[in-house]
Amino acid sequence: MRSTTEDEDDGDYRFRTFFSETSPGKFVPRALFIDLEPSVIDEVKSGTNSQLYNPQQFICGKEDAGNNFARGYYTQHFNVTLMFDNVSVYDICRRSLDIENPTYVNVNRLVSQAFSSLTVSMRFEGSTINQNLRSFCGSTSLGLIRFVGCSYVPVLSAKEVQHKQHAFVELTNAALEPSSYMVKYDPCKGMYMKNLIVNRGDDVDFDDVDNAASMARTRTGSGFDYFDTSYRSGINYVPVIVYPGGGLATVQREVCVVYCTTSIQDVFTRISHKFNQMYVKKDFLHSYFCEGMEEYEFSEAYEVIATKLVKLCQEFENVKIYR
C-alpha cells in the first residue's frame, strides 16, 4: 500500500507538471495561446480566468486566414475531415435549445461540444475508445472517403431541469435520427461505410452500452443501406463538461456517433453548385490572387469535388460485396 507521503509527492508532481510557480503562492498553467488574430485570445484575457495567466503566454498576429482558402491550403496532411454545416447546427439550436436566432457563438459551442466528446479519449486515460477511433480513421474505406459526419446528443438547454437519467439505448437511438445529424444529406440515398458510437459518462452500465450497439445494428433493415453493418463503440468515463454560460445543460451521459456514408456526396454537390454560381461571375477571385493563387487552381478544386469525390461515392454504392 502506498504511504500518505508517496501519494502527496505523486500529487504534487502531477500538479507541477501542469503548473509552474512564478511567485510565492502563485501558480500559472504551463500553456501557450497562439492564434493568427487577437479576438479569441482577447476573450480569454478578459474572461473569468484572466488573472490565471501570464501576459507572455499570449501570442497572436494581426489577422487570420479570413476564410481565404489560399492561406489555409498548405497545412499538415489530415487523416479525416469531420464535416458540419451551419444549416443543420442552426436547426438543432432552434429546435433543442429554443434559440430563435442562433448566433455563431451558439453554433461554435455546440460543434465544440461534439468535437470534445469525440476526442476526449485522446486527452484522458481509461478510455476504451482510442483503439476504435484509430481503426475507424485508418480503415480502408476512409482511405478513399475521408469526409465523415457526426451527431451529438443530448442537446438540452441549460434552462431545462433534468429529472431523469437518459439510458445509452435512448441516447443512441436519438443520435441515429437524421434530425440529429450536424451536416445535411439524405441518409436513405447512400450507403453507410463505417460507424462509431462514442459513449461518455462517469456512470456507465455495460449492458446498456451493448444493447445500444445491438439496437444500432438492427437499423440495417430499416431503409438504411450498409456496406459494413458493424458498429464500433467505446466508453469514456470522464464526466461530461460543458462551457460555463454556453447555454447547454450539464448532463451525466452523452453519445456522439461518427459515420462515413456515400450520402455525403449531397454536400459536395451543393458546394459545387454554389461555387459555380460565384465562379462564372469571377466574384472575389482578386482576394485569392493577392495571396498567390492562380485561376487554374479553382478549376482543379472544382474537378476534385464535383467529379472525383462524387464519382468515388457512386462507385462504392455500386459495390455488391457485403450488401
Architecture per CATH, 80-263: 2-Layer Sandwich (3.30)
Residue spans per domain, the chain: 4-60, 80-263, 267-317
How would you classify the pairing of strands 147-153 and 81-82?
A: parallel
pLDDT at 130 over 60: no
* Tens-digit pLDDT profile for residues 150-200: 999 999 988 776 666 778 888 888 888 889 999 998 877 777 777 888 888
* Mean pLDDT, residues 132-140: 58
pLDDT at 54 over 60: yes
Q: How far apart are CA 296 and CA 282, in angstroms?
A: 13
**pTM higher than 0.95 for the full model?**
no
Closest of 323, 184, 320 to residue 264, by C-alpha:
184
Closest of 211, 224, 223, 221 to residue 255, by C-alpha:
211
* Torsion over CA: 17, 22, 25, 31 (sign): negative
* Tens-digit pLDDT profile for residues 190-244: 777 778 888 888 776 666 767 776 766 666 444 455 555 556 777 788 888 888 8
Helices 104-119 and 86-97: angle between axes, nearest 10 degrees: 100
Residue 41: phi, psi to the nearest 5? -65, -35
> CB of 145 within 8 A of CB of 316?
yes
CATH dotted code for 267-317: 1.10.287.600
